[in-house]
């Protein structure tokens, strides 16, 4: 079992670094070919933080572990708010841009609620639901282009520090594809082994190990950027990541197989995800910042939630 945990850690590292290399290489190639910064910026927003979750979810679906796929998205969205954002807000208050509240948060609420309603209808997600998610994603991207150009531009400049040469970028793309492929397969294979060994549900390991593992870049980057005082787009990054986790990852994954969970009371997980999204929106409107008090609220909710799902296993 020791080597299983080592394999899981290596798999998550390969998944995260492979995603970084792939995005970095693709961005540089696109810029070198003359693609507009707006288009490239939207690509960074779309895939920069959600690619590890996407690959892990697709591998899980292809291997027949759809519980890991759907719980990974739910767990990641919960972790993004209650860990990445909350840990950062413990150090300093996090400002929230007006355009983030106006342009991005409504879509986070819409996508979260749509997913919840569709899933609770039959307790699974089928391909036609995936089409709905992808259509909403197209609308969201169009909305960003027309209403939130400044947000996209700022996130682009934050993410893209240097443009690499074309040949080196191609090398990074190849390296990234290998990394995410091998890392995704290793992650899911070892997660399933851990679940079987400890008699845990696939949903539990998806909500915890896989979700926190694939959200680790957001958590680390959020804390570091906050300590450095570079937290102007932190909330926007997290909100955008949550939107794409639902619309892109569940949209694509459900095209390849029905997504279900292997626990009876998954409603609590959906309630927590929706509650955190609503609270973030309310705090944003009335407080304009995320202060230490809000951070304590989110962290308390997460640890209580973790306690509940540990009892459920």
Distance CA 269, CA 175 (A): 36
Residues recorded for the chain:
313
Q: Is the pLDDT of residue 46 over 60?
A: no
Of 21-35, 48-62, 273-287, the poorest mean pLDDT is in: 21-35
Distance CA 7, CA 190 (A): 7
CATH code of the domain in which 230 resides: 1.20.1420.30
Residues of the chain above pLDDT 90, percent: 19
What total number of domains does the chain contain?
A: 1
The full DSSP string for 22-54 is: HHHHHHHHHHHTT--HHHHHHHHHHHTTTHHHH
Contact 203, 266 (CB under 8 A): yes
Q: Which domain holds residue 92?
A: 2-312
Q: Is the pLDDT of residue 174 over 90?
A: no
Distance CA 299, CA 156 (A): 29
Instruction: Give the residues across from 290 on adjacent strands.
Output: 94
Distance CA 215, CA 177 (A): 19
Residues of the chain above pLDDT 70, percent: 85
Q: What is the C-alpha R_g of the chain? A: 18
Distance CA 59, CA 99 (A): 35
Cβ neighbour number for residue 9 with a 10 Å cutoff: 14
Contact 136, 117 (CB under 8 A): no
Contact 62, 256 (CB under 8 A): yes
Beta strands in the chain (DSSP E): 94-95, 289-290
The pLDDT tens digits for 102-140 are 778 888 999 999 999 999 988 889 999 999 999 998 888
The pLDDT tens digits for 47-93 are 666 778 788 888 888 888 888 889 989 999 999 999 888 888 888 88
Query: What average pLDDT does the chain have?
Result: 82
Q: What is the DSSP letter of 101?
A: I
> Could you tell me the two tokens for 41?
């910026």
Average pLDDT over residues 171-199: 83
Of 84-88, 161-165, 282-286, the poorest mean pLDDT is in: 161-165
Distance CA 149, CA 90 (A): 30
Contact 201, 263 (CB under 8 A): yes
Distance CA 80, CA 76 (A): 6
What per-residue confidence (pLDDT) applies to 231? Answer: 62
Contact 87, 223 (CB under 8 A): yes
Who wins on pLDDT, 89 or 219?
Answer: 89
Who wins on pLDDT, 284 or 152?
Answer: 284
Q: Where are the alpha helices (DSSP H) in 198-266?
A: 202-205, 211-227, 234-244, 251-253
């Amino acid at each position: 079992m020791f080597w299983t945990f080592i394999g899981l850690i290596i798999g998550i590292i390969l998944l995260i670094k492979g995603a970084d290399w792939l995005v970095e290489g693709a961005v540089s190639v696109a810029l070198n070919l003359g693609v507009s910064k707006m288009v490239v910026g939207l690509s960074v927003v779309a895939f920069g933080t959600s690619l590890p979750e996407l690959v892990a979810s697709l591998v899980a679906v292809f291997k027949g572990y759809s519980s890991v796929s759907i719980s990974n998205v739910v767990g990641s969205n919960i972790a993004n708010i209650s860990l990445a954002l909350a840990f950062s807000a413990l150090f300093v208050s996090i400002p929230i841009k007006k355009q983030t509240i106006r342009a991005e948060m409504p879509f986070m609420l819409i996508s979260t609620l749509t997913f919840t309603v569709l899933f609770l209808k039959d307790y699974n997600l089928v391909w036609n639901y995936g089409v709905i998610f992808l259509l909403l994603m197209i609308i969201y991207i169009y909305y960003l282009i027309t209403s939130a150009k400044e947000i996209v531009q700022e996130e682009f400049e934050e993410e893209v520090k240097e443009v690499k040469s074309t040949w080196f970028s191609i090398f990074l793309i190849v390296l990234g594809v290998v990394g995410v492929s091998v890392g995704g397969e290793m992650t899911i294979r070892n997660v399933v082994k851990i679940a079987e060994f400890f008699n845990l549900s696939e949903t539990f390991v998806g909500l915890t190990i896989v979700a926190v593992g694939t959200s680790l870049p957001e958590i680390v980057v959020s804390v570091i950027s906050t300590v450095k005082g570079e937290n102007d787009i932190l909330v926007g990054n997290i909100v955008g990541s949550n939107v794409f986790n639902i619309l892109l990852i569940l949209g694509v994954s459900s095209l390849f197989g029905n997504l279900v969970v292997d626990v009876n009371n998954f409603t609590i997980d959906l309630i927590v995800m929706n509650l955190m999204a609503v609270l973030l929106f309310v705090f944003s409107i009335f407080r304009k910042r995320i202060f230490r008090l809000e951070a304590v609220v989110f962290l308390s909710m997460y640890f209580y939630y973790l306690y509940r799902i540990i009892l459920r296993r």
